[in-house]
Structure 1
């Protein structure tokens, strides 16, 4: 893709973001009894700014014009955390330096020396991402002592880009890779994170706090991590956007691991443009041009080169999409229905397909092959990889120095057993064959081959631009005794292949959000985000949460099973 195409795509997505209508969202807030256009004290943040719907380009335009400061924005989010988070328990801690970071950004804005699209933008980090000045626990009391002392590589990128590191979010302890029957969103450090839409429902995991915080408008963007489903499922279940990047696009250095063969951090936000702009920072953007695979993935990714402001004569959002490659007209999309997720979810997919076809897309039904074999092989391979990778990470931290010591810590810590006592996955990983074992190597090679073929062959056979599927079922009731209610298969092909996936809001079932998952080929992140922006615009499925205490009964499907996240 040439420079003109890159500029055109950037202009389309940024222009569309600048032109997004705020009053309708504000009216919805009024209908639901909330109004996040104001701080929780009732003082307006800035005229026309709604924390639920405002985008990074709109914020940067206001900061460039002097009508908004990062300090004001950061204070608004800190107040909102103080007032709203007690209902959902998504944020573990806020950074004591957040306001100093914001003041530094304000000085750069005043002197015209901003560092890019995230300068002055508040970001929450999942608490398995190392921060030098705050604890990084993975939700476990075993790591609740001293901070790591150094930032993860992705945090270094965020700081260099001027982002305000607002705090850390709760997660499913050890990224849901401890017990056979875990409860997503629970950790010994943070307790249980609740779904903001219906508080007795689960937020999915393991990036539970990141997704719930965004749904509640506690930060502009957040960082999640995924091995299989841990970004996209919480995004879908909490009605936000989550992007799992291609493997290797974002550095995993300084992030608590499960498997180097599948782990990646990724951006989460309330809209696709903010997600894309955050990915451009996490992945290194301009500095990565020498890396052919990485620069290919980013070619066409929106990067805000300056602080854009509203100007007369801008095209409409629909015109921008049609002119600059984010239209759905002529796009070929494969729909993987997954009827096992229930009739209500399938009805959301039917409505979604109808809207996409009305926008000019060609939607064909597909079933990617090899899924049973992937499910059979993935878990045993992850056990061997977890033992190798967690031992390496624990060797860099104070506390248990390896998996065996971690198991003993949990056995002797009653606080680690308050929701569920099991650590069967730890024990199985300890006994798993090493990653030098030929049987393991054959498993991982077959997984890589079949997962990639499942996507590549499906896309080639139907000449597709992307494969879509439901991201999640309606959120199940949180229950420590039962554990999680579902294994959700849609995330697995892209997760195992190391290909990108993106969840955008698609609709809801009984107040509970359902996401649409989009998958594409290796390092096709930019194309996927561009398509996701067009899908998001056509579906218009986002709505603010109402923090209902409970909702109509959604029957569980099957027994409690382990969910690898």
Structure 2
């Protein structure tokens, strides 16, 4: 069974949809108005189709919510000055009988490393990219716009997607300040899709887009009580997304329900001429992921394993492990067949490997330079990692040396380059360690459809092999 389909079936079976929360009646037709904190994409579409509110109304409401909380939480780095005008044009389409799909008129926030060709910047939170202009929208942004989504704002993040310093904090950028989680004062929002997680958790948009290299969708989704889907590398295009690693980067939704995530994934997934990794997608038509969410018996007979040798109490907080174990009983009650101790076959070798560090060093040095070179306007004239290091160390707002550039120094000091024999040997070793030695090894050895593991322990295994994972019910599904 395909992982993503299994996750959607699980969401339907467990019944994750929130009960409606009403906050008054519409002056337009007297029908109830739903609290945006709880509103699903289906709720919003129903409201617009019935004339209860418009896309303009939605957009203004979300912008007002951002203005109210952002001075404290710093989850949004900037808003789209054309958002209301875009919403009005989509309302006009609806009035004329054109609805592009489930995202028509739906405000969505994207992480500030996903390029948009509009009046917003795309900077990965750094002044090094302020004022740069890409040659076109990123493929992700273009697909969202084509589907009728309104790109409302850019979410703050951990600067450079948490790939700069060894001594920074989750959610800090020089441009956007320090993102805080909304659940208690000074909450660490996790990284690097920190702002994306906070924006989604408190309903600053109907859905939010994050990116992950290793844990950057799953971690903030766990910390902010969300559904987060980290797609298989190549299912969603990375074209014109500020990179860390071409071998590990991926783009995915972060939402308050699985069905909403499914709607978004169906739009942003697919082949793209600008990202050759997407050419491996085995179908020309992207599945209707949301359709799987309606099945009430989706877990009946599903074979799910637990790699217990990778789960150590010392590596999780107590409540997470308690909730994880409780969720296993829920899965059993819904018809899943659970295999305890579906252990990873070669966990020791995985833990001893340093291949991932070197692969990311090589990828970043090449990929970040390539991103700068694609800009049609590049005010800082940076075209290499060495120049980026110099800018960051000498531009006061970048907070150097209090926040160092140690990861970049490691990249510069690597003696071999992307594409070298050493590079490919490390990539292939990572593939083995993330597949046969761990995830695929367990799936094959025990005849399983999927594995589950506490989310705080999950990212590395899937990351190095480019595998998909999904944050759901306090655990991650592989």
- TM-score class, shorter: 0.7 to 0.9
What is residue 419 of structure 2 aligned with on the other side?
436
Q: Using a 3 Å threshold, how does the CA distance of structure 1 residues 44 and 77 change in structure 2: closer, same or farther?
A: farther
Structure 1 distance, partners of 2:279, 2:136, is: 25
Written as runs of structure 1 = structure 2, the 5 A alignment for 1:86-125 is: 86-125=71-110
Aligned alpha-carbon RMSD (Å): 3.2
Written as runs of structure 1 = structure 2, the 5 A alignment for 1:248-263 is: 248-263=234-249
Aligned mate of 2:301, from 325, 330, 344? 330
Q: Secondary structure at the match of 1:223?
A: strand
What is residue 347 of structure 1 aligned with on the other side?
322
CA shift digits 1:312-354 (9 cap, x unpaired): xxxxx9xx533xxx53222222224342213332111111112
Deviation, structure 1 residue 207 = 0.4
Structure 1 distance, partners of 2:216, 2:207, is: 16
Structure 2 distance, partners of 1:462, 1:387, is: 40
CA contact (8 A) 1:126 1:170 kept: yes
Deviation, structure 1 residue 301 = 1.9
Deviation, structure 1 residue 359 = 2.1
Bigger shift: 368-377 or 113-122?
368-377
CA contact (8 A) 1:231 1:244 kept: yes
Structure 1 distance, partners of 2:30, 2:302, is: 40
What is residue 367 of structure 1 aligned with on the other side?
343
CA contact (8 A) 1:395 1:401 kept: yes
Deviation, structure 1 residue 110 = 1.4
The answer to whether 1:499 aligns with 2:467 is: yes
Structure 2 distance, partners of 1:210, 1:45, is: 33
Written as runs of structure 1 = structure 2, the 5 A alignment for 1:12-411 is: 20=17, 22-23=19-20, 26=21, 37=23, 47-133=32-118, 134-284=120-270, 293-295=281-283, 298-302=286-290, 320-322=294-296, 327-336=298-307, 337-339=311-313, 340-363=315-338, 364-374=340-350, 375-397=353-375, 398=378, 399=380, 400-411=382-393
Q: Using a 3 Å threshold, how does the CA distance of structure 1 residues 111 and 19 change in structure 2: closer, same or farther?
A: farther
Deviation, structure 1 residue 227 = 0.7
Structure 2 distance, partners of 1:197, 1:43, is: 34
Structure 2 distance, partners of 1:15, 1:367, is: 28
CA contact (8 A) 2:227 2:258 kept: yes
Written as runs of structure 1 = structure 2, the 5 A alignment for 1:4-15 is: none
Q: Secondary structure at the match of 1:267?
A: strand
Deviation, structure 1 residue 435 = 1.5
The answer to whether 1:471 aligns with 2:469 is: no
CA contact (8 A) 1:17 1:57 kept: no
Q: Using a 3 Å threshold, how does the CA distance of structure 1 residues 355 and 303 change in structure 2: closer, same or farther?
A: closer
Q: Using a 3 Å threshold, how does the CA distance of structure 1 residues 285 and 302 change in structure 2: closer, same or farther?
A: farther
TM-score by length of 1: 0.74
Q: Using a 3 Å threshold, how does the CA distance of structure 1 residues 149 and 292 change in structure 2: closer, same or farther?
A: closer
Deviation, structure 1 residue 149 = 5.0
TM-score by length of 2: 0.87
Deviation, structure 1 residue 436 = 3.1
Deviation, structure 1 residue 49 = 1.4
Deviation, structure 1 residue 389 = 0.7
CA contact (8 A) 2:10 2:298 kept: no
Structure 1 distance, partners of 2:467, 2:135, is: 32
CA shift digits 1:217-245 (9 cap, x unpaired): 10010111111111111111111111111
Structure 2 distance, partners of 1:418, 1:38, is: 49
CA contact (8 A) 1:241 1:269 kept: yes
Aligned mate of 1:462, from 420, 423, 446? 446
Structure 2 distance, partners of 1:236, 1:195, is: 12
CA shift digits 1:394-445 (9 cap, x unpaired): 2123122110001101111222126932101101101212013322221111
Structure 2 distance, partners of 1:66, 1:43, is: 7
Deviation, structure 1 residue 70 = 1.1
Extract unaligned runs of 5+ from structure 2. none
Structure 2 distance, partners of 1:17, 1:104, is: 38
Structure 2 distance, partners of 1:330, 1:104, is: 47
Q: Using a 3 Å threshold, how does the CA distance of structure 1 residues 359 and 13 change in structure 2: closer, same or farther?
A: closer
CA contact (8 A) 2:191 2:216 kept: yes
Structure 2 distance, partners of 1:253, 1:22, is: 38
CA shift digits 1:423-482 (9 cap, x unpaired): 01101101212013322221111111221212112112222221111113xxxxxxxxxx
Deviation, structure 1 residue 372 = 4.6
CA contact (8 A) 2:248 2:466 kept: yes
Deviation, structure 1 residue 46 = 6.1
Structure 2 distance, partners of 1:204, 1:19, is: 23
Q: Using a 3 Å threshold, how does the CA distance of structure 1 residues 384 and 81 change in structure 2: closer, same or farther?
A: same
Q: Secondary structure at the match of 1:365?
A: coil
Structure 2 distance, partners of 1:45, 1:72, is: 15
What is residue 476 of structure 2 aligned with on the other side?
517
Work out the number of aligned pairs and report it: 456
Q: Secondary structure at the match of 2:110?
A: strand
CA contact (8 A) 1:38 1:44 kept: no
Deviation, structure 1 residue 496 = 1.5
CA contact (8 A) 1:328 1:356 kept: yes
